[in-house]
Structure 1
Amino acid sequence: MTRKGGTSQACAACKYQRKRCTPECPLAPHFRPEQTEIFKNAHKLFGVRNILRILEHVNPALKNEAMRSIIYQANMRDRSPVHGCLGVIYQLQYQIRHAEKELYAVLSQLDLYKQHHRHQQEITSSPMESQQLQLGIGFEQSELPFFQNEVNDHTPHIQYHNHNHKKNTKMDI
Protein backbone atom coordinates (compact mmCIF):
# COMPACT_ATOMS: atom_id res chain seq x y z
CA MET A 1 0.00 0.00 0.00
CA THR A 2 2.50 2.55 -1.07
CA ARG A 3 2.27 5.32 -3.58
CA LYS A 4 4.23 5.37 -6.79
CA GLY A 5 7.90 5.29 -5.90
CA GLY A 6 7.27 3.09 -2.86
CA THR A 7 8.25 5.69 -0.24
CA SER A 8 4.96 7.14 0.99
CA GLN A 9 2.05 5.41 2.66
CA ALA A 10 -1.46 5.05 1.34
CA CYS A 11 -3.94 7.77 2.26
CA ALA A 12 -6.42 7.06 5.05
CA ALA A 13 -9.23 6.43 2.52
CA CYS A 14 -7.27 3.83 0.56
CA LYS A 15 -5.94 2.28 3.74
CA TYR A 16 -9.48 1.90 5.11
CA GLN A 17 -10.74 0.40 1.84
CA ARG A 18 -7.62 -1.79 1.52
CA LYS A 19 -6.93 -0.37 -1.90
CA ARG A 20 -3.72 0.62 -3.53
CA CYS A 21 -3.30 4.42 -3.33
CA THR A 22 -2.33 5.96 -6.64
CA PRO A 23 -0.93 9.43 -7.27
CA GLU A 24 -4.27 10.33 -8.87
CA CYS A 25 -6.25 9.42 -5.74
CA PRO A 26 -8.74 12.30 -5.26
CA LEU A 27 -8.97 11.72 -1.50
CA ALA A 28 -5.23 11.56 -0.77
CA PRO A 29 -4.78 15.35 -0.40
CA HIS A 30 -7.59 15.47 2.15
CA PHE A 31 -6.97 12.34 4.25
CA ARG A 32 -3.33 11.89 5.22
CA PRO A 33 -2.28 8.36 6.25
CA GLU A 34 -2.48 9.12 9.98
CA GLN A 35 -6.04 10.52 9.74
CA THR A 36 -7.89 7.21 9.71
CA GLU A 37 -10.41 8.30 12.36
CA ILE A 38 -11.28 11.45 10.41
CA PHE A 39 -11.84 9.41 7.27
CA LYS A 40 -13.98 6.88 9.19
CA ASN A 41 -16.24 9.71 10.38
CA ALA A 42 -16.61 11.12 6.86
CA HIS A 43 -17.19 7.64 5.41
CA LYS A 44 -19.83 6.84 8.03
CA LEU A 45 -21.77 10.06 7.41
CA PHE A 46 -21.35 10.49 3.63
CA GLY A 47 -19.81 7.38 2.12
CA VAL A 48 -16.88 7.36 -0.29
CA ARG A 49 -19.06 7.45 -3.40
CA ASN A 50 -20.94 10.57 -2.23
CA ILE A 51 -17.72 12.31 -1.21
CA LEU A 52 -16.27 11.65 -4.67
CA ARG A 53 -19.49 12.83 -6.31
CA ILE A 54 -19.39 16.06 -4.33
CA LEU A 55 -15.77 16.65 -5.33
CA GLU A 56 -16.63 16.04 -9.00
CA HIS A 57 -19.41 18.65 -9.01
CA VAL A 58 -17.59 21.33 -7.02
CA ASN A 59 -15.56 24.08 -8.65
CA PRO A 60 -11.88 23.04 -8.46
CA ALA A 61 -11.03 26.24 -6.59
CA LEU A 62 -13.54 25.25 -3.88
CA LYS A 63 -12.62 21.57 -3.47
CA ASN A 64 -10.48 22.14 -0.39
CA GLU A 65 -13.23 24.17 1.27
CA ALA A 66 -15.83 21.53 0.39
CA MET A 67 -13.69 18.80 1.94
CA ARG A 68 -13.10 20.91 5.05
CA SER A 69 -16.87 21.24 5.36
CA ILE A 70 -17.45 17.50 4.86
CA ILE A 71 -14.79 16.64 7.44
CA TYR A 72 -16.13 19.19 9.93
CA GLN A 73 -19.71 17.96 9.57
CA ALA A 74 -18.61 14.34 9.97
CA ASN A 75 -16.56 15.12 13.07
CA MET A 76 -19.43 17.09 14.64
CA ARG A 77 -21.83 14.23 13.94
CA ASP A 78 -19.36 11.85 15.60
CA ARG A 79 -19.12 14.08 18.70
CA SER A 80 -22.84 14.79 18.88
CA PRO A 81 -24.84 12.08 17.08
CA VAL A 82 -28.19 13.71 17.82
CA HIS A 83 -27.58 17.35 16.92
CA GLY A 84 -24.33 17.36 14.90
CA CYS A 85 -23.57 20.69 13.24
CA LEU A 86 -27.03 22.02 13.95
CA GLY A 87 -26.31 21.87 17.69
CA VAL A 88 -23.13 23.86 17.15
CA ILE A 89 -25.00 26.42 15.03
CA TYR A 90 -27.68 26.88 17.71
CA GLN A 91 -25.06 27.18 20.42
CA LEU A 92 -23.16 29.84 18.45
CA GLN A 93 -26.38 31.74 17.72
CA TYR A 94 -27.21 31.68 21.43
CA GLN A 95 -23.73 33.02 22.25
CA ILE A 96 -24.15 35.80 19.66
CA ARG A 97 -27.55 36.82 21.07
CA HIS A 98 -26.13 36.77 24.60
CA ALA A 99 -23.12 38.88 23.54
CA GLU A 100 -25.42 41.37 21.75
CA LYS A 101 -27.59 41.74 24.87
CA GLU A 102 -24.47 42.26 26.95
CA LEU A 103 -23.18 44.84 24.46
CA TYR A 104 -26.48 46.76 24.54
CA ALA A 105 -26.43 46.72 28.35
CA VAL A 106 -22.87 48.05 28.40
CA LEU A 107 -23.71 50.75 25.85
CA SER A 108 -26.75 51.89 27.83
CA GLN A 109 -24.68 51.93 31.03
CA LEU A 110 -22.01 53.95 29.23
CA ASP A 111 -24.66 56.40 28.05
CA LEU A 112 -25.87 56.82 31.64
CA TYR A 113 -22.31 57.48 32.81
CA LYS A 114 -21.85 60.07 30.06
CA GLN A 115 -25.08 61.83 31.04
CA HIS A 116 -24.06 61.77 34.70
CA HIS A 117 -20.62 63.16 33.79
CA ARG A 118 -22.18 65.98 31.75
CA HIS A 119 -24.53 66.77 34.62
CA GLN A 120 -21.60 66.85 37.07
CA GLN A 121 -19.68 69.18 34.74
CA GLU A 122 -22.64 71.54 34.61
CA ILE A 123 -22.85 71.58 38.40
CA THR A 124 -19.12 72.08 38.94
CA SER A 125 -18.60 74.63 36.17
CA SER A 126 -16.43 77.71 36.70
CA PRO A 127 -17.22 79.94 39.72
CA MET A 128 -18.10 82.89 37.48
CA GLU A 129 -20.68 80.79 35.63
CA SER A 130 -22.07 79.49 38.94
CA GLN A 131 -22.58 83.00 40.25
CA GLN A 132 -24.19 84.06 37.00
CA LEU A 133 -26.50 81.08 37.04
CA GLN A 134 -27.49 81.82 40.65
CA LEU A 135 -28.22 85.45 39.77
CA GLY A 136 -30.17 84.52 36.67
CA ILE A 137 -27.51 86.01 34.42
CA GLY A 138 -26.10 83.87 31.62
CA PHE A 139 -24.37 84.15 28.33
CA GLU A 140 -24.74 82.29 25.10
CA GLN A 141 -21.83 80.21 23.83
CA SER A 142 -22.12 81.84 20.44
CA GLU A 143 -21.41 85.18 22.12
CA LEU A 144 -18.07 84.09 23.56
CA PRO A 145 -15.02 85.24 21.59
CA PHE A 146 -13.57 81.74 21.19
CA PHE A 147 -16.84 80.51 19.71
CA GLN A 148 -17.22 83.40 17.30
CA ASN A 149 -16.40 82.81 13.67
CA GLU A 150 -15.39 86.42 13.03
CA VAL A 151 -13.84 88.83 15.49
CA ASN A 152 -14.01 92.45 14.36
CA ASP A 153 -11.43 93.87 16.73
CA HIS A 154 -8.54 92.25 18.56
CA THR A 155 -9.86 93.13 22.01
CA PRO A 156 -11.48 90.09 23.60
CA HIS A 157 -14.92 90.75 24.97
CA ILE A 158 -17.81 88.82 26.42
CA GLN A 159 -21.42 89.82 26.01
CA TYR A 160 -23.60 89.28 29.02
CA HIS A 161 -27.31 89.62 29.04
CA ASN A 162 -29.85 89.44 31.75
CA HIS A 163 -32.63 87.05 30.83
CA ASN A 164 -35.04 88.79 33.21
CA HIS A 165 -34.84 92.23 31.56
CA LYS A 166 -33.89 91.23 27.98
CA LYS A 167 -31.25 93.97 27.99
CA ASN A 168 -27.79 93.24 26.56
CA THR A 169 -24.69 94.81 27.99
CA LYS A 170 -21.20 94.56 26.60
CA MET A 171 -18.15 94.40 28.83
CA ASP A 172 -14.53 94.48 27.72
CA ILE A 173 -12.03 92.33 29.54
Structure 2
Amino acid sequence: MGSGSSPCASCKLLRRRCAKDCIFAPYFPPDDPHKFAIVHKVFGARNVSKMLQELPVHQRADAVSSLVYEATARMRDPVYGCVGAISYLQNQVSQLQMQLAMAQTEILCMMQPEPELPAIHPSMVDCGTKSMLLSSSNTGDFGDQMPQFLSYSSFNNINVIQDPLKRESLWT
Protein backbone atom coordinates (compact mmCIF):
# COMPACT_ATOMS: atom_id res chain seq x y z
CA MET A 1 0.00 0.00 0.00
CA GLY A 2 1.15 3.54 -0.72
CA SER A 3 1.25 5.29 2.64
CA GLY A 4 -0.12 3.91 5.86
CA SER A 5 -3.21 1.74 5.81
CA SER A 6 -5.45 3.76 3.48
CA PRO A 7 -5.19 3.46 -0.31
CA CYS A 8 -3.72 6.30 -2.35
CA ALA A 9 -6.06 8.84 -3.94
CA SER A 10 -5.95 7.11 -7.34
CA CYS A 11 -6.78 3.66 -6.00
CA LYS A 12 -9.51 5.13 -3.82
CA LEU A 13 -11.07 6.93 -6.82
CA LEU A 14 -10.70 3.92 -9.12
CA ARG A 15 -12.02 1.62 -6.34
CA ARG A 16 -9.19 -0.82 -6.47
CA ARG A 17 -6.75 -2.28 -4.01
CA CYS A 18 -3.58 -0.22 -3.58
CA ALA A 19 -0.53 -2.47 -4.04
CA LYS A 20 2.86 -1.91 -2.41
CA ASP A 21 4.37 -0.94 -5.74
CA CYS A 22 1.51 1.37 -6.79
CA ILE A 23 2.99 3.94 -9.15
CA PHE A 24 0.50 6.60 -8.03
CA ALA A 25 0.94 6.26 -4.25
CA PRO A 26 4.03 8.48 -3.81
CA TYR A 27 2.50 11.32 -5.85
CA PHE A 28 -1.22 11.17 -5.05
CA PRO A 29 -1.61 10.84 -1.25
CA PRO A 30 -4.97 9.80 0.20
CA ASP A 31 -5.47 13.17 1.93
CA ASP A 32 -5.58 15.03 -1.44
CA PRO A 33 -8.08 13.17 -3.65
CA HIS A 34 -8.90 16.22 -5.78
CA LYS A 35 -5.36 16.25 -7.18
CA PHE A 36 -5.74 12.83 -8.81
CA ALA A 37 -9.39 13.32 -9.71
CA ILE A 38 -8.64 16.30 -11.94
CA VAL A 39 -5.62 14.60 -13.57
CA HIS A 40 -7.70 11.45 -14.16
CA LYS A 41 -10.55 13.46 -15.67
CA VAL A 42 -8.28 15.24 -18.19
CA PHE A 43 -5.65 12.60 -19.00
CA GLY A 44 -7.02 9.28 -17.79
CA ALA A 45 -5.43 6.94 -15.25
CA ARG A 46 -3.94 4.61 -17.86
CA ASN A 47 -2.21 7.46 -19.73
CA VAL A 48 -0.84 8.93 -16.52
CA SER A 49 0.42 5.50 -15.46
CA LYS A 50 2.19 5.02 -18.81
CA MET A 51 3.76 8.49 -18.61
CA LEU A 52 5.06 7.88 -15.10
CA GLN A 53 6.44 4.43 -15.96
CA GLU A 54 8.41 5.85 -18.89
CA LEU A 55 10.13 8.45 -16.70
CA PRO A 56 13.04 7.94 -14.32
CA VAL A 57 11.96 7.96 -10.66
CA HIS A 58 13.68 11.29 -9.90
CA GLN A 59 11.60 13.08 -12.61
CA ARG A 60 8.18 11.69 -11.70
CA ALA A 61 7.33 14.24 -9.00
CA ASP A 62 7.95 17.11 -11.41
CA ALA A 63 5.90 15.34 -14.08
CA VAL A 64 2.98 14.93 -11.67
CA SER A 65 3.17 18.62 -10.74
CA SER A 66 3.08 19.52 -14.43
CA LEU A 67 0.15 17.18 -15.07
CA VAL A 68 -1.80 18.67 -12.16
CA TYR A 69 -1.09 22.21 -13.40
CA GLU A 70 -2.08 21.40 -16.99
CA ALA A 71 -5.21 19.55 -15.87
CA THR A 72 -6.26 22.49 -13.70
CA ALA A 73 -5.67 24.89 -16.59
CA ARG A 74 -7.65 22.62 -18.93
CA MET A 75 -10.57 22.58 -16.50
CA ARG A 76 -10.57 26.39 -16.38
CA ASP A 77 -10.07 26.83 -20.12
CA PRO A 78 -10.86 23.62 -22.06
CA VAL A 79 -9.78 25.06 -25.41
CA TYR A 80 -6.43 26.70 -24.65
CA GLY A 81 -5.40 25.33 -21.25
CA CYS A 82 -1.92 26.54 -20.25
CA VAL A 83 -1.38 28.21 -23.60
CA GLY A 84 -4.16 30.69 -22.82
CA ALA A 85 -2.54 31.56 -19.50
CA ILE A 86 0.87 31.90 -21.13
CA SER A 87 -0.52 34.14 -23.89
CA TYR A 88 -2.26 36.32 -21.33
CA LEU A 89 0.94 36.71 -19.30
CA GLN A 90 3.03 37.43 -22.43
CA ASN A 91 0.56 40.15 -23.36
CA GLN A 92 0.83 41.66 -19.88
CA VAL A 93 4.62 41.69 -20.24
CA SER A 94 4.40 43.50 -23.59
CA GLN A 95 1.93 46.03 -22.16
CA LEU A 96 4.24 46.69 -19.22
CA GLN A 97 7.22 47.05 -21.57
CA MET A 98 5.24 49.62 -23.56
CA GLN A 99 4.36 51.52 -20.39
CA LEU A 100 8.01 51.43 -19.33
CA ALA A 101 9.09 52.80 -22.72
CA MET A 102 6.53 55.60 -22.41
CA ALA A 103 7.72 56.47 -18.91
CA GLN A 104 11.36 56.45 -20.04
CA THR A 105 10.49 58.72 -22.98
CA GLU A 106 8.67 61.13 -20.68
CA ILE A 107 11.63 61.20 -18.29
CA LEU A 108 14.03 61.91 -21.16
CA CYS A 109 11.78 64.68 -22.44
CA MET A 110 11.60 66.27 -19.00
CA MET A 111 15.37 66.18 -18.69
CA GLN A 112 16.02 67.78 -22.10
CA PRO A 113 16.62 71.52 -22.08
CA GLU A 114 14.39 73.67 -24.27
CA PRO A 115 15.96 74.28 -27.69
CA GLU A 116 17.39 77.77 -28.08
CA LEU A 117 16.91 77.96 -31.83
CA PRO A 118 13.30 78.21 -33.02
CA ALA A 119 14.04 76.51 -36.33
CA ILE A 120 13.91 72.72 -36.12
CA HIS A 121 14.68 70.44 -39.01
CA PRO A 122 11.43 68.82 -40.31
CA SER A 123 12.76 65.31 -39.73
CA MET A 124 13.08 65.97 -36.00
CA VAL A 125 10.11 65.17 -33.77
CA ASP A 126 9.46 66.80 -30.41
CA CYS A 127 9.09 64.81 -27.21
CA GLY A 128 5.34 65.33 -26.99
CA THR A 129 4.87 63.65 -30.33
CA LYS A 130 7.25 60.82 -29.41
CA SER A 131 5.37 60.02 -26.23
CA MET A 132 2.04 60.30 -28.06
CA LEU A 133 3.21 57.79 -30.66
CA LEU A 134 4.28 55.38 -27.94
CA SER A 135 1.02 55.61 -26.01
CA SER A 136 -1.77 53.15 -26.74
CA SER A 137 -5.38 52.63 -25.81
CA ASN A 138 -5.98 50.27 -22.94
CA THR A 139 -9.07 48.21 -23.69
CA GLY A 140 -8.40 45.43 -21.19
CA ASP A 141 -8.44 42.71 -23.86
CA PHE A 142 -5.10 41.33 -24.85
CA GLY A 143 -4.20 41.56 -28.51
CA ASP A 144 -6.19 44.77 -29.03
CA GLN A 145 -3.32 47.22 -28.73
CA MET A 146 -3.67 50.21 -31.04
CA PRO A 147 -1.89 53.55 -30.88
CA GLN A 148 -4.14 56.32 -29.62
CA PHE A 149 -3.63 58.46 -32.69
CA LEU A 150 -5.27 55.69 -34.75
CA SER A 151 -8.22 55.06 -32.46
CA TYR A 152 -11.56 56.67 -33.19
CA SER A 153 -13.90 58.22 -30.70
CA SER A 154 -17.63 58.76 -31.23
CA PHE A 155 -19.02 60.45 -34.33
CA ASN A 156 -20.10 63.49 -32.28
CA ASN A 157 -16.57 64.22 -31.13
CA ILE A 158 -14.14 63.21 -33.86
CA ASN A 159 -10.57 63.75 -32.68
CA VAL A 160 -7.49 63.37 -34.79
CA ILE A 161 -5.18 63.01 -31.81
CA GLN A 162 -6.33 61.63 -28.47
CA ASP A 163 -4.10 63.15 -25.84
CA PRO A 164 -5.42 63.36 -22.27
CA LEU A 165 -4.15 66.94 -21.90
CA LYS A 166 -4.95 68.34 -25.33
CA ARG A 167 -7.74 67.51 -27.78
CA GLU A 168 -7.65 68.89 -31.29
CA SER A 169 -10.81 68.67 -33.28
CA LEU A 170 -10.68 67.82 -36.93
CA TRP A 171 -12.96 70.81 -37.72
CA THR A 172 -11.24 73.62 -35.78
| TM-score bracket for the superposition, by shorter chain length | 0.5 to 0.7
| Cα deviations by residue, 1:82-107 (Å, 9 ceiling, x for unpaired) | 33222111111111111111121122
Note the C-alpha offset of 1:60.
3.1
Secondary structure of 2:112's aligned partner: helix
Q: 1:111 maps to what in 2?
A: 108
Which runs of 5 or more structure 2 residues have no equivalent in the other structure?
Answer: 115-172
1:46 to 1:64, Cα distance in 2 relative to 1, 3 A: same
| Cα deviations by residue, 1:44-90 (Å, 9 ceiling, x for unpaired) | 21111111111122233322111111111111111222332221111
| Cα deviations by residue, 1:133-155 (Å, 9 ceiling, x for unpaired) | xxxxxxxxxxxxxxxxxxxxxxx
Q: 1:37 maps to what in 2?
A: 34
Number of residue pairs the alignment of both structures matches: 114
Say whether the 8 Å CA contact 1:4–1:23 is kept in structure 2.
Answer: yes
Rg larger for: 1
Post-superposition, which runs of at least 4 consecutive aligned residues in structure 1 deviate over 4 A?
none
Note the C-alpha offset of 1:4.
7.3
Secondary structure of 1:30's aligned partner: coil
Secondary structure of 1:32's aligned partner: coil
Matches within 5 A, 1:1-173: 3=1, 7-116=4-113
Identity %, equivalent residues: 33
Which runs of 5 or more structure 1 residues have no equivalent in the other structure?
Answer: 120-173
Note the C-alpha offset of 1:40.
1.6
Say whether the 8 Å CA contact 2:2–2:22 is kept in structure 1.
Answer: no
Residue type matched to 1:13 in 2?
S
In structure 2, how many angstroms separate the alpha carbons of the residues matched to 1:4 and 1:25?
Answer: 6
Secondary structure of 2:78's aligned partner: coil
Q: Which has the higher strand share?
A: 1
